[in-house]
Amino acid sequence: MNRSRALAVLAVSVTLLAGCAQGGGEPARSAESRPATGAPPAPSRPATAAPPAASAAPSPSGRTPAGTLLVADFGSDTVTFVDPARGPFASVEVGTAPYGLVVGADGRAWVSTAEGVAVVDTKTRTRLARVPYRTASGPVTDGEYRGGGMGIALSPDGRRVYVGVNVPGGNGALEVIDTASLKVTGRVPVGRRPFDVDVARDGSEVYATNHDSFDVTVVRAQGLGTRRNEVAPYGTEGGLGSWLKPHYAAVRPSDGRLLLPFEGERLVVVDPRTGRSEIRPMTANTHQHGVTVTPDGTLLTVGTGPIDPATDRGPSLTVREPDGTERVVPLDGPHENVAVSRDGRTAYVTGGFTRDGFWDGLTVVDLSDGSTRRLPAGSRPLGIAVL
């Protein structure tokens, strides 16, 4: 995206000011699993990969098998359990408009909703508690600009959950939850709309990626001191009307640097300790959102589609090897986030999308050959984890 094009896009975006451009817990209760409903619209082209052999989905009273997918239903008040061969088989009520989720080694899932962080036992598929936020974020609503939890992460030792809380019209906050007491034990201001939260490999720092303030807030785990790292490879012209903002980040396993993709054109590599950044070229030429990184350093990045349909490409999944080599897998329709199977062979890309054009399912990508198939999965799924 050259400078003149970027400025032209900003002018249109300022006019629209829409979508991506703008800027102790409750008493424990058990929420019974209920059959999941809904299926994605038919693809505009045939699926390019046959589904794998069927696996045995558990009965509503059975324990959840390893390899099950868990998605946050942003279009509902649930998380949905998805058999990666057959589709959804159960859901659990967690709270209004769940956005992100993270799962600990003990099998508990932590889900950021508009009302608080829900705690779900994924083995038995029951909700254990919901921890209300300390930050006042306005009325409980749904939709892209709702207040409440967005990005969420777990400390390496499993003792703390970090959640970015959006405050409509202002700066957000990072809240710290003690996983034993289920209480908020700390709070610190961050930037606007904390889309994503990540934790350093040694747990010493937490990183809140703030969409509407073009930055990452680095938070020290001990003492909660902060520093701001601006991440704006296209500049900050256009402010809230700009499309060219950070969305999600991944921590590179080899050195702890943050990887933030922009527009399928630029990968910003940030040293969070110094704030210095480097820019590497990318090849997908599409508006990018969700990311994940595998233990060997392979980066997977979701392209949601074009800003300018006349010059940009459509939705895709970029698979970027540690040496910078990229494969771009076309996707059918917008997507938001991505997770990878335990064996590293399959990617699961959620169709929820934070803007218009979302759908109720996943695209399953065979990473060996780039073939794809669609799978129903809850209601506007955003966050995803492999159990």
Residue 37 tokens read as 């409903």
Mean pLDDT, residues 186-210 taken together: 98
Under 8 Å between Cβ of 248 and 216: no
Q: Is 34-41+65-386 in CATH node 3.40.50.2000?
A: no
Is residue 16 pLDDT above 70, yes or no?
no
Under 8 Å between Cβ of 230 and 214: yes
- For residues 303 and 267, give the distance between their C-alpha atoms in angstroms, rounded to a whole number: 13
Model pLDDT for residues 331-363, shown as the tens digit of each residue? 999 999 999 999 999 999 999 998 888 999 999
Under 8 Å between Cβ of 119 and 110: yes
Q: Specify the pLDDT at position 356.
A: 84
Confidence band of 121 (pLDDT split at 50, 70, 90): very high
- For residues 152 and 164, give the distance between their C-alpha atoms in angstroms, rounded to a whole number: 6
Closest CA to 113 of 149, 84, 60: 149
Torsion of CA 327, 328, 329, 333, to 10 degrees: 160
User: How much of the chain, in percent, has pLDDT values that exceed 90?
Assistant: 82
Inter-residue long-range contacts of 354-359, CB under 8 Å, 24+ positions, other chains counted: 354/19, 354/20, 354/74, 354/144, 354/289, 354/382, 355/19, 355/20, 355/144, 355/304, 356/19, 357/305, 357/333, 358/74, 358/75, 358/334, 359/40, 359/41, 359/333, 359/334
Q: Specify the pLDDT at position 2.
A: 42
Model pLDDT for residues 299-319, shown as the tens digit of each residue? 999 999 999 999 999 999 999
Q: Please provide the distance, in angstroms rounded to a whole number, between the alpha carbons at the two ends of the chain.
A: 38
Mean pLDDT, residues 148-169 taken together: 98
Looking at every residue in the chain, the average pLDDT score rounds to 88
Model pLDDT for residues 93-105, shown as the tens digit of each residue? 999 999 999 999 9
Amino acid at 87: G
Q: Specify the pLDDT at position 21.
A: 63
Residue 387 tokens read as 């159990």
CB atoms within 10 A of CB 356: 9
Q: Specify the pLDDT at position 62.
A: 85
Torsion of CA 353, 355, 357, 359, to 10 degrees: 30
Is residue 112 pLDDT above 80, yes or no?
yes
Residue 321 tokens read as 């090897």
CA-angle at 326, arms to 321 and 331, nearest 5°: 115
